[in-house]
């Protein structure tokens, strides 16, 4: 059955009302060379059954399923998601609800946002959090914009070990704004403190990631003082699961804490959609992007929720707006809220502890293979870079035949070809890690003949 929204008679009435007789008259300003003059070359329409068969065949080309052991990370992590998360997120009250612009009619949605903000503040130790962001990259870029607005400086300094995708996002946000972006080198897997001292002068902020892109824990006891002495803001890009194990950003005097929230109750989903979180000190509350929900009382003294700050140009004067962020990835943030409430403080600690222990077990096992070594001898959380005797992509491809997602070759980001970033979350079993070691030994054998995928 076809779906045609307007009849011929209705279309004629619409054209007449705007003063034309044919639709083509509306295209007078469009050059003939770019107009479509023939029908689209589309295949014949398929039935639902035929369509599903095609989609199933395409999906079957993906290497997925429990038979593959996943040791990949770099911003998207295979954590366990309790079944209650999906059950509650699928409720129609949440799944069909839209971002609350006329907010007070959506008390349930507002309460979820308020609880989310509260939990992010507890996790990061910061004083205020907004109603979430698109993702970790946009949250990082928005934090940089806040620092420029507060300090009025035209230079930002970033660690070279911040996620490359986040740095790309920052560059896009700042494009055309005449802002200087300066990178600080790393010293064997951590921020080079001497290089930071030499570059931080007159900067609006310093952006660093902890644990960093390699997975190493940064020296948070040294970085803040260097940044504060220069009058710059400190922006910490943090892993939410690691915050149950490492110092919270507030403990080392970060001004802004941002990050990717996928690890909190969201499945991998082919890389998205996810949600970003943004938390800051109270003094920067009015410069914070997005929206903020608060708890109040109505005229009868009953508890209620409302939006207290909306800082985008749709709600306030354009020249006063801090951001044009239009949505807050609310459904993904809801999943994060349910996950944090379900796991609780001790549950998150247990997840973090398992990640640390399993990652260190795996590192020891893999480095026992001839030719394999850790890239830098630094403390790490649940990811670490291996140095291999040949391009990491080659090893990765061979291990796929063993049904092992071995990690992320850094050549994907135009970095060293021989580095492979390996991750072990709480979902990896001892047998999977032992199998990884055994498979790596096999594919490292010179001139090994392996079946093709």
The residue behind tokens 């950003």 is 249
Cα–Cα dist 309/28, whole Å: 45
Q: How do beta strands 205-210 and 233-238 pair? A: parallel
pLDDT band at 134 (very low <50, low <70, confident <90, very high): very high
pLDDT in tens, 150-206: 999 999 999 999 999 999 999 999 998 899 999 999 999 999 999 999 999 999 999
pLDDT of residue 394: 96
What SS3 class is residue 158?
A: strand
* pLDDT at 449 exceeding the cut of 60: no
Which band of pLDDT confidence, cut at 50, 70 and 90, is reported for residue 316? Answer: low
pLDDT score at 246:
96
The partner residues of 237 in beta bridges, in order of sequence, read: 209, 258
Residue 450 pLDDT greater than 60, yes or no: no
pLDDT tens column, 15-52: 999 999 998 898 888 998 898 888 888 888 899 999 99
CA distance 111 to 304: 8
Q: What is the pLDDT of residue 220?
A: 96
Structure tokens at 295: 């708890």
**What are the structural domains, with CATH classification, of the chain?**
69-80+344-443 (3.90.1150.10), 83-340 (3.40.640.10)
| Span of 87-96, 236-245, 427-436 with lowest mean pLDDT | 87-96
User: 322 pLDDT band (50/70/90 cuts)?
Assistant: low
Which pLDDT does position 92 carry in this prediction?
87
- Structure confidence by residue, pLDDT tens digits, 216-256: 999 999 999 999 999 999 999 999 999 999 999 999 999 99
Gap between the Cα atoms of 223 and 206, Å rounded: 9
For the segment 412-424, what is each residue's pLDDT rounded down to a tens digit?
998 899 999 999 9
Q: Is the pLDDT of residue 308 over 80?
A: yes
- The DSSP result for 342-390, as a single string, is HHHHHHHHHHHHHHHHHHHHHHHHHHTSTT-EESS---BSSEEEEE-SS
- Residue 67 CA to residue 47 CA, distance in Å, equals 32
The mean predicted confidence, pLDDT, of the chain is 91
Can you give the pLDDT at residue 1? 47
pTM > 0.75: yes
Strand order in the sheet with 383-387: 373-374, 383-387, 419-423, 408-409
């Amino acid at each position: 059955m076809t779906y045609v929204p307007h009849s011929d008679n209705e279309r004629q009435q619409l054209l007449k009302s705007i003063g034309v007789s044919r639709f083509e008259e509306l295209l007078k300003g469009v050059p003939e060379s770019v107009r479509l003059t023939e029908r689209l070359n589309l295949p014949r329409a398929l039935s639902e059954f035929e369509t599903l068969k095609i989609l199933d065949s395409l999906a079957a080309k993906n290497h997925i399923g429990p038979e593959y052991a996943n040791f990949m990370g770099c911003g998207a992590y295979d954590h366990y998601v309790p079944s209650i998360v999906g059950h509650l997120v699928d409720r129609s009250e949440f799944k069909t609800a839209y971002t609350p612009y006329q907010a007070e009619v959506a008390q349930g949605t507002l309460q979820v946002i308020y609880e989310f903000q509260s939990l992010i503040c507890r996790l990061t130790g910061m004083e205020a959090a907004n109603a979430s962001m698109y993702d970790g990259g946009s949250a990082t870029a928005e934090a940089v914009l806040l620092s420029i607005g507060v300090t009025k400086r035209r230079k930002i300094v970033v660690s070279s070990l911040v996620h490359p995708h986040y740095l790309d996002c920052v560059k896009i946000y700042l494009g055309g704004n005449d802002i200087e972006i300066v990178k600080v080198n790393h010293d064997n897997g951590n921020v080079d403190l001497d290089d930071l001292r030499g570059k931080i002068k007159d900067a609006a902020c310093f952006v660093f990631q902890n644990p960093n892109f390699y997975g190493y824990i940064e020296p948070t006891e040294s970085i803040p003082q260097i940044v504060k002495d220069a009058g710059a803001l400190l922006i910490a890009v943090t892993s939410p699961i690691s915050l149950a194990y490492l110092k919270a950003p507030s403990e080392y005097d970060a001004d802004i804490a941002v990050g990717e929230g996928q690890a909190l109750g969201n499945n991998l989903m082919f890389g998205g959609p996810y949600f970003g979180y943004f938390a800051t000190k109270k003094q920067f509350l009015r410069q914070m992007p997005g929206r903020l929900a608060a708890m109040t009382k109505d005229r009868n003294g009953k508890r209620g929720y409302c939006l207290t700050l909306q800082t985008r140009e749709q709600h306030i004067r354009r020249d006063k707006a801090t951001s044009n962020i239009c949505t807050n990835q609310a459904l993904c943030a809801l999943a994060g809220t349910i996950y944090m409430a379900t796991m609780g403080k001790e549950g998150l600690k247990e997840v973090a502890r398992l990640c640390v222990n399993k990652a260190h077990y795996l590192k020891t096992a893999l480095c026992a293979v001839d030719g394999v070594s850790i890239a830098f001898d630094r403390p790490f959380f649940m990811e670490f870079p291996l140095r291999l005797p040949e391009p990491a992509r080659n090893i990765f491809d061979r291990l796929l035949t063993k049904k092992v997602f071995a990690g992320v070759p850094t050549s994907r980001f135009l970095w060293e070809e021989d580095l492979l970033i390996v991750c072990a979350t709480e979902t990896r079993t001892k047998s999977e890690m032992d199998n990884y070691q055994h498979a790596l030994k096999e594919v490292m054998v010179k001139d090994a003949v392996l079946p093709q995928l």
